[in-house]
């Protein structure tokens, strides 16, 4: 499985959304169901999927689908494949 597939699967599981909704508009501010509990689950699932441990600042600034990819890249996860 490519990293982008892994990433999308976590979002699909946590938010129960279709893949075609996952784009630059999928953000904390615009998605009503994105509450603290979802955020906690999302962060934990991503950490497990990519075997990383996020720093506090990254957890706080994980504000959307696209920006999450940038954060994971800073942990050495490549999305080029």
Minimum CB distance to other proteins, residue 21 (Å): 18
59 token code pair = 């957890």
Q: How far is the CB of 40 from other proteins (least distance, A)?
A: 6
Are 79 and 73 spatial neighbours (Cβ–Cβ below 8 Å)? yes
Nearer to other proteins, 4 or 45 (CB): 45
Q: Considering the complex, what minimum distance in angstroms separates the CB of residue 55 from other proteins?
A: 8
| Rounded Cα–Cα distance for residues 43 and 56 (Å) | 11
Close Cβ partners of 76 (under 8 Å, ≥ 6 residues apart): none
Residues that bind other proteins (CB under 8 A): 13-14, 28, 35-37, 39-41, 43, 45, 56-57, 59-61
């Amino acid at each position: 499985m490519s990293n982008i597939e892994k990433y999308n699967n976590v979002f699909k599981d946590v938010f129960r959304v279709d893949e075609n909704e996952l784009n630059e508009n999928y953000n904390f501010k615009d998605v009503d169901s994105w509450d603290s509990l979802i955020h906690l689950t999302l962060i934990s699932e991503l950490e497990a999927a990519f075997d990383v441990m996020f720093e506090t600042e990254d957890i706080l600034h994980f504000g959307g689908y696209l920006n999450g990819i940038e954060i994971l890249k800073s942990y050495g996860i490549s999305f080029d494949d």
